[in-house]
Every structure is written in C-alpha cells, then in structure tokens.
C-alpha cells in the first residue's frame, strides 16, 4: 500500500494523513450480452449492467462504488468494448480486480481488461470516439443460439445489399444528426462527425461498422433502421438525404432492433482512431 504524504499537526490545524491510502483510479473494459438488461445505466428497480458492476465492485473493494460508463446502451444492445471507470483506495492490483470481479459478476457480463488510470480519466469525457457494429442475418430461419445477437431479415423478403452499402457511405462527415434521435440531452450538441462507415457481406451475415466522434441517443439504431427500410423497399432513397439535409428532431422514426447492435470499442487517442478507421477497411 502506498502511504500518503505527512502534513504537520498541532496548533496549525493541519491533519496528519500519514499512512492514509492514496485514492487510485481504474479503467476497465467490459463485455456484455444486453438481452437480459434494461439498458446499461442505473434504473430504479430494474436490472442494468451498471447495477451488476457496482454490486460486484462494492463487494470486491469492501466499500460502496458508483462506477461511470463511457456510453449509454439501450435495453437489448450488447457491448464488446464498453469502458467503465471507478476510484478506490484499495491496494488490490488490476489483475486481482479483474479476476475477483469476474468471479462475482453474472455470466452475461465480463471484465475483459482492467488497468490503473490517471485521476483525470473519465470514461465518457475522456473519450474521443466510438465504434459501433450492427449485424444482420439473411436466412429463412433464425438459429436459437443467435436470436439475441443479430437482426434477422428473411431470405424471401426483398433486400438490396448493394443499395444499403452505397447509402451507408453518405452518413460520413460532420453534420447535425438531430433527425436521427428522438431527443437531445440537456446541453448536448447535435453536431457529430462520422469518420467511417463500412458494410461487409459474409453470407449469411451482413455487418455494418460505424466509427464516429460521438452518437446521440438511438442515433445508430435509427440510422440502421432507415438504411434497412430503404434496402428493403419500404422507403425511398431520398429519405436519407432528406434526413441528413433537414436535421429536424425526431424526423426518422425507423428504429432498428437492438439485438443486432454492439458497442465495439471506445477510442481515447488519435492513434486508436486511426487504427479503427484503417482496420475497418473500405
């Protein structure tokens, strides 16, 4: 355990903090199957990802903990690279914390990485960008093992993959994305930058990866909902341009199923952004 610095006591009123443990900050990467949760953030009387994490952390560290998250995810949305932050004066190492947490967490949540961070680290406000993945399955039957991790579009239904792919690229750039969100948080800016959108087909899977500086509430789901509606012939191509050129709050009502959506990674440096864009390919 690292000791604190000793200040002089006596008549000057200073407090002797000798042997008091120093506060430490930790950053952990978390993966979860969102199908059994009412979202990621704390909610009264509902099971959420953060409520399970806080419960496990409080037991491991032997004091109450309220971790913070990089990104809010809806009920049913998954994550492979969610990031949390928490502080403690516990002497436990990051490796000990990872093992202890995974021994207490339920099977649908796992800590995949844990390391000490600077006290100025905040999982949300320190983030420079995020990577989301949306998975579509083209099949006549949805395998039971995949029912919570893909969005099924049955083979007999019309679906133009090439059209979806070409339209997805139009999302790239800096613009006001209010039309893809039903609401803005207080003080939230609607202008975001989408650096890269890629669509890959590896039948029967179709995967769309969206890399951007930030995302509004339900923004990715509504983007994908509109793209799927156009590719399926239920909406015309001009609808996307209309939504992008006319950022009216709540304009897009299509909302893709949460089952196909994954928060894949949170980006904290320019290098991580470049690597994410390069690895996404074209």
Q: What's the pLDDT score for residue 10?
A: 44
Q: What's the pLDDT score for residue 187?
A: 84
Residue scoring higher pLDDT (22 or 176): 176
Which residues are part of the catalytic machinery? 74
Cα Rg of the chain (Å, integer):
22
> Please, how many CA atoms are within 13 Å of residue 95, restricted to the half-sphere of its CB?
0
pLDDT digits (tens, 9 = 90+) for 212-225: 999 999 999 999 99
pLDDT digits (tens, 9 = 90+) for 243-263: 999 998 778 999 999 999 999
Q: In this structure, what is the dihedral angle of CA atoms 251, 253, 258, 262, given to the nearest 10 degrees?
A: -30
The distance of Cα 35 from the centroid of its chain, to the nearest Å, equals 15
Stretch (H or E) spanning 30? strand 24-32
Asked if residues 166 and 231 have their Cβ atoms less than 8 Å apart, the reply is: no
What are the residues whose beta carbons fall under 8 Å from the beta carbon of 189, sequence distance 6 or more? Answer: none
Q: Within 10 Å of residue 42's Cβ, how many Cβ atoms?
A: 14
Rounded-to-integer distance, Cα 174 and Cα 136, Å: 26
Q: Rounded to the nearest 5°, which phi and psi values hold at 184? A: -110, 140
Mean pLDDT of 180-194: 91
Q: Please state the pTM of the whole predicted model.
A: 0.90
E strands of 58-217, at which residues? 68-69, 78-88, 109-117, 129-138, 151-153, 173-176, 191-202, 205-212
Structural domains of the chain ordered from first start: 20-117 (3.30.70.580), 129-280 (3.30.70.660)
Rounded-to-integer distance, Cα 41 and Cα 275, Å: 29
pLDDT confidence bin for 22, thresholds 50/70/90 = confident
Q: Does 13 score more than 50 pLDDT?
A: no
Residue scoring higher pLDDT (16 or 224): 224
pLDDT digits (tens, 9 = 90+) for 64-88: 999 999 999 999 999 999 999 999 9
Tokens representing 164? 């979806």
């Amino acid at each position: 355990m690292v000791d604190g610095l000793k200040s002089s006591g006596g008549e000057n009123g200073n407090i002797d903090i000798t042997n008091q443990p120093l506060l430490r900050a930790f950053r952990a990467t978390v993966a979860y199957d969102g199908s059994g949760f009412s979202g990621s953030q704390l909610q009264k009387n509902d099971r959420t990802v953060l409520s399970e994490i806080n419960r496990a952390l409080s037991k491991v560290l032997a004091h109450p903990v309220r971790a913070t998250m990089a990104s809010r995810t809806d009920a049913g949305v998954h994550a492979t690279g969610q990031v949390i932050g928490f502080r403690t004066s516990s002497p436990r190492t990051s490796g000990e914390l990872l093992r202890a947490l995974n021994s207490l967490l339920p099977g649908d949540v796992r800590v995949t990485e844990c390391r000490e961070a600077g006290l100025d680290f905040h999982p949300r406000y320190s983030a420079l960008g995020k990577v989301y993945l949306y998975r579509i399955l083209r099949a006549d039957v949805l395998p039971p093992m995949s029912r919570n991790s893909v969005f099924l579009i049955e083979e007999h239904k019309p679906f133009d993959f090439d059209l979806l792919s070409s339209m997805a690229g139009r999302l790239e750039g800096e613009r006001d994305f209010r039309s893809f969100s039903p609401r803005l948080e207080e003080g939230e800016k609607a202008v975001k930058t989408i650096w890269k959108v890629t669509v890959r087909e590896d039948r029967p899977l179709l995967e769309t990866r969206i890399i951007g500086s930030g995302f509004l509430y339900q923004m990715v789901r509504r983007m994908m909902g509109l793209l799927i509606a156009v590719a399926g012939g239920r909406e015309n191509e001009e609808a996307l341009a209309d939504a992008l050129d006319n950022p009216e709050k709540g304009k897009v009502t299509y909302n893709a199923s949460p089952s196909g959506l994954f928060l894949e990674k949170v980006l904290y440096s320019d290098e991580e952004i470049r690597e994410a864009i390069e690895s996404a390919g074209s």
